[in-house]
């Protein structure tokens, strides 16, 4: 009896853990597009000039995006527990346009940054476009966030044998040697990130999404010099 109870408890704990992971991944991923909407509205407002009707509407968009972010935080907050799982719908697709789109998003958000993109000859891959977009948003926004203003970000996607490798490189603060091992652990933030806001969820989500694709994410970094995150996809 006691053993059965203990087993049930262990099972219950695992379920709760899975739900927590889902919720943290989901709320982060709802927030990323909202950040993009907010950034675009801010620029539209600026371009339109103060007191114009367009600026007024842009301000309304921004206020609504903020309200929505708050609602997401409330309902999908860390403490709340609900049923759910991440839907994974892979289709044979070209990754090139997905990379171009993700970089275009970041260019719009950070017009002062130089993003370079290099795409090799690539076979079609089994991809969930939505999850790939979120993964790239996470890596690209990190590259910008953890490097000085004006530093470039280089994106490269090439075939290597039976795999396609997509790397995002920056010339930023890098990762302290001692922290490398824990970089993909949920809620972990490296010791050299003081002054930047973050939750330590993005990279864990990327790892989770790559796992669904049967792929991997790897990191090479030298503190003070820069980092390269590489997504590696199997070719079917």
Residues forming the site for Mg ion (CB under 5 A): 142, 202
Q: Which residue is nearest to ligand ATP (CB)?
A: 198
Count interface residues toward ligand ATP (CB under 6 A).
22
Q: How far apart are CA 40 and CA 137, in angstroms?
A: 15
Interaction of residue 202 with ligand ATP, rule CB under 6 A:
yes
Interaction of residue 174 with ligand ATP, rule CB under 6 A:
yes
Interaction of residue 28 with ligand ATP, rule CB under 6 A:
yes
When computed from its CA atoms, the radius of gyration of the chain, rounded to whole angstroms, is: 20
Which residue lies nearer to ligand ATP by CB, 44 or 72?
72
Q: Which residue is nearest to Mg ion (CB)?
A: 202
The correct pick among 27, 105, 142, 167 for binding ligand ATP (CB under 6 A) is 142
Residue 205 near residue 145 (C-beta atoms within 8 A): no
Which residue lies nearer to ligand ATP by CB, 23 or 125?
23
Interaction of residue 190 with ligand ATP, rule CB under 6 A:
yes
The correct pick among 39, 90, 130, 200 for binding ligand ATP (CB under 6 A) is 200
Which residue lies nearer to Mg ion by CB, 23 or 144?
144
Query: From the CB of residue 112, how many other CB atoms can be counted at a distance below 10 Å?
Result: 7
Which residue lies nearer to ligand ATP by CB, 58 or 190?
190
Binding site for ligand ATP (CB under 6 A): 28, 138, 142-143, 146, 170, 172-175, 183, 189-190, 193, 198-204, 227
């Amino acid at each position: 009896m006691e053993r059965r109870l203990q087993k049930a408890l262990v099972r219950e704990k695992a379920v709760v853990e899975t739900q927590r992971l889902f919720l943290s991944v989901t709320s982060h991923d709802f927030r990323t597009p909202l950040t993009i909407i907010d950034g675009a509205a801010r620029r539209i407002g600026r371009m339109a000039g103060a007191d114009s009707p367009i600026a007024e509407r842009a301000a309304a968009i921004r206020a609504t995006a903020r309200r929505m972010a708050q609602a997401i935080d409330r309902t999908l907050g860390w403490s709340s527990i609900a049923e759910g799982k991440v839907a994974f719908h892979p289709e044979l697709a070209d990754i090139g346009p997905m990379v171009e789109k993700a970089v275009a998003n970041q260019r719009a958000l950070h017009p002062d940054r130089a993003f370079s993109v290099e795409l090799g000859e690539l076979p079609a891959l089994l991809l969930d476009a939505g999850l790939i977009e979120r993964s790239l948003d996470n890596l690209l926004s990190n590259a910008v966030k953890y490097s000085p203003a004006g530093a470039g970000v280089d994106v490269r996607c090439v075939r290597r044998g039976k795999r396609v490798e997509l790397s995002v490189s920056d010339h930023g603060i890098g990762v302290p040697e001692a922290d490398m091992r824990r970089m993909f652990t949920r809620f972990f933030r490296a010791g050299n990130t003081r002054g930047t806001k973050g939750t330590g969820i993005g990279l864990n989500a990327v790892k989770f999404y790559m796992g669904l694709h049967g792929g991997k994410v790897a990191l090479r970094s030298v503190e003070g010099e820069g980092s390269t995150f590489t997504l590696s996809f199997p070719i079917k």
